[in-house]
């Protein structure tokens, strides 16, 4: 089947293959070959497990079609508009409330997304989360807090004019749905303080 190159990230190249997407983790020349192969295999298998878990939960994310357990995943292509292109007044609070609720579902199932930006979310009747390449399983409040902090940083970068309303709506929904939300949000305060301290130290 013919492939069409779509994009390249730090870890993988994406190709359109019919109605699906081929995600191929490419070798890194600066790594020892054996280590590189093991690392790519590990990350490919981990992402596949997360996608399978999401499918079992009926969570809005790409379905896993095929996994070679080495470097290639074939996943469902999600059609729609990137949230970064549709998040604006007056719909921002509703969308961010939905985002917060869905992050809570991930965290309740010990899934840390690892790259929560509005470039990794697609709107098609509802919000879909994509790109689980940096995702992992964890029940730690620290990891969940860092996930939320990444969302805030992403909103600050791309949507600074509506940041306050967006993040508040996301957190309000998260609090209602997430297990141990208070512990995670308390840890989030500590994560943000660390970030401010580093920024102040570097200036």
Q: List active site positions.
A: 115
- Alpha-carbon distance of 155 to 163, in angstroms, equals 6
DSSP string for 8-73: E-SSEEEEEETTEEEEEEPP-TTS-HHHHHHHHHHHHHHHHHHHHHHHHTT-SSPPEEEE-SSSEE
Helix (H) or strand (E) holding 66: strand 64-67
Quote the tokens at residue 29.
């020349």
Cβ contact 185:171 at 8 Å: yes
């Amino acid at each position: 089947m013919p492939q069409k190159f779509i994009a390249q990230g730090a870890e993988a190249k994406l190709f359109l293959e019919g109605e699906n997407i081929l995600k191929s983790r490419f070798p890194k020349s600066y790594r020892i070959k054996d280590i590189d192969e093991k690392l790519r295999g590990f990350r490919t298998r981990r992402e596949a497990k997360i996608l399978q878990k999401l499918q079992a939960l009926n969570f809005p994310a790409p379905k896993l079609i095929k996994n070679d357990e080495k470097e290639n995943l074939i996943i469902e292509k999600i059609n729609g508009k990137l949230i970064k292109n549709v998040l604006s007044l007056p719909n921002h609070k509703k969308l961010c409330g939905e985002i917060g609720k869905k992050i809570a579902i991930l965290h309740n199932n010990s899934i840390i997304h690892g790259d929560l930006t509005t470039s990794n979310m697609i709107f098609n009747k509802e919000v879909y989360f994509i790109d689980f390449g940096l995702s992992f399983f964890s029940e730690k409040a620290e990891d969940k807090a860092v996930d939320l902090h990444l969302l805030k940083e992403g909103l600050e970068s791309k949507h600074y004019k509506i940041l306050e309303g967006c993040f508040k709506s996301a957190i309000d929904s998260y609090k209602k749905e997430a297990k141990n939300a208070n512990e995670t949000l308390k840890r989030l305060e500590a994560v943000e303080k660390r970030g401010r301290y580093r920024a102040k130290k570097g200036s």
